[in-house]
Amino acid sequence: MAKLRYGIIGIGKMGHSHAKKINKGMDKNSVLVAVADISEERRSWAEKNLKNVKIFSNADDLISCSDVDAVIVATPHYFHPEYGIKALKAGKHVLIEKPAGVFTKAVKELNELAKEKKDLTFGIMYNQRTDPMYREAKKIIESGQLGKIKRINWVITNWYRPQAYYDQGGWRGTWEGEGGGVLINQCPHQLDLFQWLAGMPKKVYGFAKVGVERNINVENDVTFYTEYEDGGSGVFVTSTHDSPGTNRLEISGDGGQIIVEWKGLLSEKFTFIKLKTKESEFNKNNKKFMPIIPYTKKTKRISTLSNAVRMGLIGQHINIIRNFSKSVLFGEKLIAPGLDGINGLTLSNAVYQSSWQGKEITLPIDEDQFINELEKRKSEEKVYNKKA
């Protein structure tokens, strides 16, 4: 069968990496045929570094190019739904970078169109869904071994970004260019996994602090609390100014506890503590005051580079591209369907809304109010950086 022909819009840090990998043949089922970027500098990089590829100076020309079967959108966030919609309308398969967009209203429109275009494949670059530790957690939860989830806690404060990062200018760290801070740029992967593993909450209460230890207009220190229909709860903590910071996920259920802790590429550790009797059962018959419920413990580590590649910790982005190509060509199940993108974005929109209003938000969020508040922040934005 013929290879899937990709076109990539936006060949900056992320898009150029996707372009190089496809162009080098790292996905045997696809070929790179076109790239588009508004930056002359990026286009001359493409001329020098990519073979047999058409180079466009705008997204529309790439989308209408008849050589292109599938479009990867790797531009700043606001353009993801816009180009996703245009590409689907032009009959192209679409793989968008994370996050799905900045506000849910635009992403809903994209999702509605994607549902209509049943013959087109729509994916999102949630590459951390290929991380073997989170996949193991998902498998255990789906098998029922963890039981009803009581609590999900994630402390992800190892996104260290100094002032120099924000001072590089461009679209980063602004409401206008990026649509927020750590929630919209660094955390979409964890927000997706948070809901992929524990489901969507019914209530969100958030505190999104702006410009902590940094001269920026957007949030870089966030804590939020979630409540679920079945009585479970969650806490999520993130920041870009802690060093070294922590990345630890804990999910407690009636059947035990899952812990995924990251202390470096080869020090990611997965633990599943499985209670021999579910806590609810144990509690019915137990007469002791402070017992320990007997358990078994299973751990998983990566430890070597070859394991990291073999198990899919390294190569996450190309693995999502390979899966997307196989999904289009052979009907393989998508690891990260595009329609899922709205869930993590709903969480971050709800956290902002809660923080702005100083109260708990019951989902669904008020989308028009969110857009009004976002526009207000764009208009009040201070210029910290002349390069912005």
Ligand X SMILES: NC(=O)c1ccc[n+]([C@@H]2O[C@H](COP(=O)([O-])OP(=O)(O)OC[C@H]3O[C@@H](n4cnc5c(N)ncnc54)[C@H](O)[C@@H]3O)[C@@H](O)[C@H]2O)c1
**Binding of ligand X by 192 (CB under 6 A):** no
Choosing from 38, 265, 305, 309, the residue that interacts with ligand X (CB under 6 A) is 38
Q: How far is the CB of 324 from ligand X (least distance, A)?
A: 13
CB-nearer residue toward ligand X: 275 or 311: 311
CB-nearer residue toward ligand X: 149 or 156: 156
Choosing from 76, 84, 180, 256, the residue that interacts with ligand X (CB under 6 A) is 76
What whole-number distance in Å separates Cα of residue 224 and Cα of residue 74? 28
**Binding of ligand X by 39 (CB under 6 A):** yes
Task: Supply 238's token pair.
Answer: 């993130």
Piece of 71-79, 106-114, 322-330, 360-368 that binds ligand X (CB under 6 A): 71-79
Piece of 7-15, 231-239, 339-347, 361-369 that binds ligand X (CB under 6 A): 7-15
Q: How far is the CB of 299 from ligand X (least distance, A)?
A: 26
Contact criterion met (CB below 8 Å) for 130 and 222: no
What whole-number distance in Å separates Cα of residue 105 and Cα of residue 94? 19
Residue 118, SS3 per DSSP: coil
What character string, x for contact with ligand X (CB under 6 A) and - otherwise, covers 96-135?
-xx--------------------------x-x--------
| CA-based nearest residue to 385, from 163, 94, 55 | 163
**Binding of ligand X by 12 (CB under 6 A):** yes
Task: Supply 361's token pair.
Answer: 């938000």
Residue 153, SS3 per DSSP: strand
Phi-psi region of 163 (alpha: psi -120 to 50; beta: other; left: phi over 0): alpha
Task: Supply 309's token pair.
Answer: 């590649």
Choosing from 34, 74, 133, 193, the residue that interacts with ligand X (CB under 6 A) is 74
Piece of 25-33, 76-84, 260-268, 295-303 that binds ligand X (CB under 6 A): 76-84
**Binding of ligand X by 37 (CB under 6 A):** yes
Task: Supply 374's token pair.
Answer: 């976002």
3-state SS string for 39-63: CHHHHHHHHHHCCCCEEECCHHHHH
Interacting residues with ligand X (CB under 6 A): 9-15, 36-39, 42, 59, 74-77, 79, 97-98, 125, 127, 170, 185
